[in-house]
Chain A
Amino acid sequence: MHTGIDELLEKYWHIPGGLVPLLQEVQKVHGYLSREILEKIASGMGISLAKVAGVATFYHQFHLTPRGRYIIKVCMGTACHVRGAAEVLFAMEDELGIKVGHTTPDLTFTLDQVACLGACGLAPVITINDETYGKLTPGQVPKLIEKYREEAAVVH
Chain B
Amino acid sequence: MRRKVLVCGGTGCVSSRSREVYDALESELAGRGLGEQFELKYTGCHGFCEQGPLVLVEPEGYFYCRVTKEHVAKLVDSLQEGSVYEDLLYKDPDTGNRVKTRNDVPFYQKQKRLVLKNCGLINPESIEDYLNAGGYRTLQKVFKMSPDAVIDEVKKAGLRGRGGGGFPTGLKWEYARKARGDKKYIICNADEGDPGAFMDRSILEGDPHRVLEGMLTAGYAIGAGEGFVYIRAEYPLAVRRLDIAIKEAREKGFLGENILGSGFNFDIHIKQGAGAFVCGEETALIESIQGNRGMPRPRPPFPAVKGLWDRPTVVNNVETLANLPIIFDMGAEAYAAIGTEQSKGTKIFALTGKIKNTGLVEVPMGITLREIIFDIGGGIPNGKKFKAVQIGGPSGGGLSAQHLDLPIDYDSLIDAGAMMGSGGLVVMDEDTCMVELARFFLSFTRMEACGKCTPCREGNTRLLEILERIVEGRGELQDLDLLESLGHTIIDTSLCGLGQSAPNPVLSALKYFRPEYEMHVKNKLCPAGVCKALLSYRIIEEKCKACGLCLKHCPVGAITGKKGEPHRIDPEMCKKCGECLKKCPFGAIVLAGGDGFGQGQSDHKRNHVSRTQALYNLKSGGRERH
**Is B275 close to A, CB under 8 A?**
yes
Given A24-B233, A78-B390, A78-B393; A59-B352 close (CB under 8 Å): no
**Is A129 close to B, CB under 8 A?**
no
- Are A115 and B353 within 8 A (Cβ)? no
- Are B426 and A134 within 8 A (Cβ)? no
**Is A107 close to B, CB under 8 A?**
no
* A-B contacts, 29 listed (Cβ < 8 Å): A16-B290, A20-B288, A24-B233, A55-B291, A58-B293, A58-B295, A60-B274, A76-B444, A77-B195, A78-B424, A78-B441, A79-B358, A79-B426, A83-B353, A83-B354, A87-B577, A94-B555, A115-B193, A115-B444, A115-B448, A117-B15, A118-B12, A118-B198, A119-B11, A119-B49, A120-B12, A120-B49, A121-B49, A139-B579
Q: Give chain B nearest CB distance to A120 CB in angstroms.
A: 4
CB within 8 Å of A: which B180-210 residues: 193-198, 201
**Is B618 close to A, CB under 8 A?**
no
Given A78-B426, A82-B426; A120-B198 close (CB under 8 Å): yes
Q: A60-B274, A78-B353, A83-B354 are in contact. List 11 more A-B contacts (CB 8 A).
A: A16-B291, A24-B274, A76-B444, A78-B394, A114-B234, A115-B444, A117-B11, A118-B198, A118-B201, A120-B198, A138-B577
- Are A119 and B12 within 8 A (Cβ)? yes
Which of A58, A62, A118 neighbours the largest number of chain B CB atoms within 10 Å of its CB?
A: A118
| B573-611 Cβ-contact flags toward A at 8 Å (1 or 0) | 000010100000000000000000000000000000000
Interface residues on B, range: 35 or more
A61 CB contacts on chain B under 8 angstroms? 233, 273-275
- Are A78 and B277 within 8 A (Cβ)? no
| B536-570 Cβ-contact flags toward A at 8 Å (1 or 0) | 00000000000000000001000000000000000
Q: How far is the CA of A78 from the CA of B14 in the complex (A)?
A: 21
- Are B353 and A82 within 8 A (Cβ)? yes
**Is A21 close to B, CB under 8 A?**
yes
Q: Give chain A nearest CB distance to B163 CB in angstroms.
A: 16
Q: Give chain A nearest CB distance to B535 CB in angstroms.
A: 14
- Are B15 and A122 within 8 A (Cβ)? yes
B195 CB contacts on chain A under 8 angstroms? 76-79, 81, 115-116
**Is B58 close to A, CB under 8 A?**
no
- Are A60 and B290 within 8 A (Cβ)? no
For A, the interface residue count at a CB cutoff of 8 angstroms equals: 39
Q: How far is the CA of A94 from the CA of B577 in the complex (A)?
A: 13
- Are A58 and B276 within 8 A (Cβ)? yes
**Is A5 close to B, CB under 8 A?**
no
**Is B345 close to A, CB under 8 A?**
no
Contact with A58, one of B197, B294, B432 (Cβ below 8 angstroms):
B294
**Is A19 close to B, CB under 8 A?**
yes
- Are B358 and A77 within 8 A (Cβ)? no
- Are B233 and A121 within 8 A (Cβ)? no
**Is B369 close to A, CB under 8 A?**
no
Which of A16, A116, A123, A125 neighbours the largest number of chain B CB atoms within 10 Å of its CB?
A: A116
- Are A20 and B274 within 8 A (Cβ)? yes
CB within 8 Å of B: which A52-83 residues: 54-55, 58-62, 76-79, 81-83
**Is B420 close to A, CB under 8 A?**
no
Q: How far is the CA of A78 from the CA of B264 in the complex (A)?
A: 44
Q: Give chain A nearest CB distance to B291 CB in angstroms.
A: 4
- Are A77 and B196 within 8 A (Cβ)? yes
B273 CB contacts on chain A under 8 angstroms? 59, 61
Seen from chain B, the residues whose Cβ lies within 8 Å of a Cβ on chain A are 11-12, 14-16, 49-50, 52, 193-198, 201, 233-235, 271-277, 288-295, 309, 350, 352-354, 358-359, 390, 393-394, 424, 426, 428, 432, 437, 440-441, 444, 448, 450, 555, 577, 579
**Is A132 close to B, CB under 8 A?**
yes
- Are A59 and B276 within 8 A (Cβ)? yes
A-B contact count (CB 8 A): 129
- Are A132 and B291 within 8 A (Cβ)? no
Contact with B274, one of A16, A23, A76, A114 (Cβ below 8 angstroms):
A23
Q: Give chain A nearest CB distance to B581 CB in angstroms.
A: 13
Q: Give chain A nearest CB distance to B305 CB in angstroms.
A: 20
- Are B16 and A122 within 8 A (Cβ)? yes
B289 CB contacts on chain A under 8 angstroms? 17
- Are B275 and A60 within 8 A (Cβ)? yes
Contact with B437, one of A17, A79, A82, A115 (Cβ below 8 angstroms):
A82
Which of B12, B272, B441 neighbours the largest number of chain A CB atoms within 10 Å of its CB?
A: B12
Q: How far is the CA of A134 from the CA of B352 in the complex (A)?
A: 14
Residue of B nearest to A12 (CB): B291
B424 CB contacts on chain A under 8 angstroms? 78
- Are A116 and B198 within 8 A (Cβ)? yes
Q: Give chain A nearest CB distance to B440 CB in angstroms.
A: 6
A59 CB contacts on chain B under 8 angstroms? 273-276, 294
**Is A4 close to B, CB under 8 A?**
no
Q: Give chain B nearest CB distance to A47 CB in angstroms.
A: 9
CB within 8 Å of B: which A28-51 residues: none
- Are B291 and A79 within 8 A (Cβ)? no
Contact with B197, one of A16, A116, A138 (Cβ below 8 angstroms):
A116
Residue of B nearest to A21 (CB): B272
Q: Give chain B nearest CB distance to A145 CB in angstroms.
A: 15
A132 CB contacts on chain B under 8 angstroms? 14-15
Contact with B276, one of A60, A94, A138 (Cβ below 8 angstroms):
A60
Closest 4 CB pairs of A and B: A77-B195, A60-B275, A121-B49, A59-B274
Contact with A82, one of B291, B432, B450, B555 (Cβ below 8 angstroms):
B432
**Is A18 close to B, CB under 8 A?**
yes
Residue of A nearest to B11 (CB): A118
Q: Give chain B nearest CB distance to A84 CB in angstroms.
A: 10
A54 CB contacts on chain B under 8 angstroms? 293
B233 CB contacts on chain A under 8 angstroms? 24, 61
A77 CB contacts on chain B under 8 angstroms? 195-196
